[in-house]
Amino acid sequence: MKDPLPSAATDSLDEFRSGTDLFRILCWVASAATVATLAWIIFEITRQAWPAISQFGVDFIAGTKWSANRGIFGVLPFIIGTAVSSFIAILFALPLGLAIAVFLSEDFLPVPVRQFIRFVVELLAAIPSVVYGLWGIFVVIPLVQEYGKIVADSLGTSIPLFKGPAFGNSMLTASLVLALMILPTITAISRTALVAVPRTLREGSYALGATRWETIFRVIMPTAAPGIVAATILALGRAMGETMAIAMLIGNSSRLTWSLFSPAGTLAGLLANEFAEAGGLQVASLMFAALLLVVLTLGVNIVGEIVLKHTQKSTAGIR
């Protein structure tokens, strides 16, 4: 007589396999639904923007003037404003966020203190965008006006980036607030990547005589580089799509200027400011601008994915 245990184990294994297959089907459905939703969004935006695409074409992208009353639509200043404000925000937020992540992942302070600091940093992500905008109006704008005038008077004549006058609503003001908004994203994901580094790598580095900071900069951070790159990509994507705070602080100007103290504009801010009162061809032009914002964001993510894969390959030997 055969032992009943193998038969019961086989039945359990069959049930597990059927459950696994069902889970796989659900994952495929969820993935396909996500892709289909993105394709639907792009299709609808393109359909609404087609009148402007067929009428303006490339001139819409290369145009430097936006005047709805005269039927002139050009978004080059807003494209440049979106890219520059996001780049400046990353320039400020990445070093600071990475430093905080290292501080929270290593044993510099007791665990309760680090947990409290992590909670405070992550709490920044829960603050609504409009609150950041109001904080920028009452705190950042006066600081930029006060100290920006000093910088403009001393450096503005020789460096176009700091040419005055120092307006309160400016590219610099919006970028500083934007940097604070994306700081929790960079900090949280980078910290997760740093904590995930195997402890054996740390111990091996210490065993070879490396100091704590040598271990952090030469072993831990290179190993966690894929996670840090991913954090940067996500933060940059959020920065490019941020709307309300930027619309409140950047000045919403369509003029091209080199100065960081001058008002500027972004694609997201343009949509937020003009869509409510738009009509006719202006609606199609705004949808064209929205399509460009989607394409720009997708392009950044594709480039970031390429960089991420290259970083993973280069760090595979370390792991």
Read off the pLDDT of residues 175-234 as tens digits, 9 standing for 90 and up: 999 999 999 989 988 888 888 888 888 888 888 888 888 888 888 888 888 888 888 888
Clarify whether residues 50 and 66 are in a common domain. no
Clarify whether residues 115 and 132 are in a common domain. yes
Clarify whether residues 11 and 132 are in a common domain. no
Question: CA–CA distance from 265 to each of 73, 172, 212, 270 (Å)?
Answer: 14, 12, 44, 7
Clarify whether residues 33 and 180 are in a common domain. no
Has residue 90 got a pLDDT over 90? yes
Q: What is the DSSP letter of 99?
A: H
Clarify whether residues 78 and 141 are in a common domain. yes
Clarify whether residues 90 and 50 are in a common domain. no
- Domain holding 48, by residue range, is 1-56
Has residue 163 got a pLDDT over 80? yes
Q: Model confidence over 167-186: pLDDT tens digits?
A: 888 899 999 999 999 999 89
The pTM is what? 0.83
Clarify whether residues 2 and 151 are in a common domain. no
Three-state SS for 125?
helix
Clarify whether residues 151 and 6 are in a common domain. no
Question: CA–CA distance from 313 to each of 89, 305, 307 (Å)?
Answer: 28, 12, 10
Burial of residue 267, with CB atoms counted within 10 A of its CB: 0-12 exposed, 13-18 middle, 19 or more buried: buried
The C-alpha atoms of residue 170 and residue 290 are separated, in whole angstroms, by 22
Clarify whether residues 232 and 246 are in a common domain. yes
Most confident segment among 227-231, 289-293, 302-306: 289-293
CATH assignment at residue 131: 1.10.3720.10
**Structural domain count of the chain:** 2
Clarify whether residues 196 and 68 are in a common domain. yes
Last residue of a domain, which of 25, 56, 87?
A: 56
Clarify whether residues 114 and 257 are in a common domain. yes
